[in-house]
Amino acid sequence: MKNYIKEDDPFVVPTIDMKLIEEHFGNASNKYDKCSIARMEVPPRWKEPSQLPEFDEFTLMIKGKKLVIVDGEKIVLEAGQSILVKKGAKVQYSNPYDYPAVYWSVCLPPFSLDTVHRGT
């Protein structure tokens, strides 16, 4: 038995909002149940509904900017910056800018449609 899991090709999660999600570990890709790790690309003027997740979410910006509204407070993340949004916080992610954004997301426990509670 190996003491590692190597992922050669991330799973591309289907979306309806032009957001590219390449999950390397997590529920969608390989049912890894400790965390999810995904690379994201969002187009200009992209916006998600607010959510009330049951997981902590770390975001590390690689390119562009991203607007994060946490419990009503607006935070702009730029390339090289990161944020931890703790479970139970009301959060909304968007890219209101005229250029795409690229970032990594890590969720503990892993992201799940059953625990994200979008639209709240």
Q: What are the residue boundaries of the structural domains of the chain, listed by start?
A: 11-116
Contacts of 98 (CB under 8 A, 6+ apart): 44, 45
What pLDDT, on a 0 to 100 scale, did the predictor assign at position 39?
Answer: 98
CATH 2.60.120.10 fits 11-116, yes or no: yes
Amino acid residing at 27: N
Which two tokens mark 4?
């590692």
The verdict on pTM exceeding 0.95 is no
- CA pair distance 109, 67, nearest whole angstrom: 23
pLDDT, position 38: 97
Q: CA–CA separation, 87 vs 113, rounded Å?
A: 14
pLDDT averaged over consecutive 10-residue blocks of the chain (120 residues)?
Answer: 88 92 94 95 97 98 98 98 98 98 98 92
**CA-based nearest residue to 120, from 56, 71, 80:** 71
